[in-house]
Amino acid sequence: MIDQLSWNSLSYTYDGRTTLSFPDGVVHRGEMIAVIGNSGSGKSTWMQLLSGILAIQEGNILYGTTSLLRKSETQRDKLRSRHIGLIFQKNHFLNDLSVQDNLMLPSYAVRQKPDVSFITEHAEKLSVSHLLQSKPSECSVGELQRLSILRTLSTKPSFILADEPTSALDDVNASAILDIFETISKEQNIGILIVTHDQRVKSRVSNTIQIGK
């Protein structure tokens, strides 16, 4: 396990023309930070850099004391699978599988036996235990977001990067998701970075990083 993620002097250039620069930062386990920026500000690029999906061009990223600089794609993938949980805007659930089978897929992907008791216990905590035998297509948008969080938790990450987790939700469900993140951060000592342009998140999360203008 690692205790912090840090990054400095990060920039990324697309097509040799458009350069995105990002402010330095650090997040510790147990902290929740909102990464705020408008559409096109580079939030998704920053998230892909921090998670190791994109290779570093300029600057550095540290998982604890381990640098991602000059790591191969395979090495970055291994580091991400050990330490980072990702929640994407699209849930990417497979509709021909049950919810529970979908929740087990991340474990199979890294050739580990799924921890069914962990999934069952946390499904109860997230109020989705009644959905485990359902198909994803039978779940509401708010329920699917809770299930996305549970799927990420099943990998037992040190840090979670969530891409616009509330933007498609109404106020009630958005507030519930933020409540869940706060609980996870405190009770499970997980660092959470919420990448968003949703002002409702900014009003709830006091620790913020601004990307772009």
The domain limits of the chain are 4-210
- To 10 degrees, the CA torsion angle through 33, 191, 21, 40? -60
3-state secondary structure of 212: coil
Q: What is the amino acid identity at position 105?
A: L
- What is the pLDDT, as a whole number, of residue 15? 84
- What is the pLDDT, as a whole number, of residue 112? 82
Q: Provide the 10 A C-beta neighbour count for residue 153.
A: 24
Q: What is the amino acid identity at position 145?
A: Q
pLDDT digits (tens, 9 = 90+) for 78-115: 999 999 999 998 888 999 999 999 999 988 887 788 89
What is the C-alpha to C-alpha distance for residues 140 and 91, in angstroms, rounded to an integer?
Answer: 12
Point out the residues of the chain with pLDDT beneath 50: none
- What is the pLDDT, as a whole number, of residue 109? 80
- The CATH number of domain 4-210 is 3.40.50.300: yes
Cβ neighbours of residue 6 closer than 8 Å, sequence gap 6 or more: 24, 25, 26, 27, 61, 62
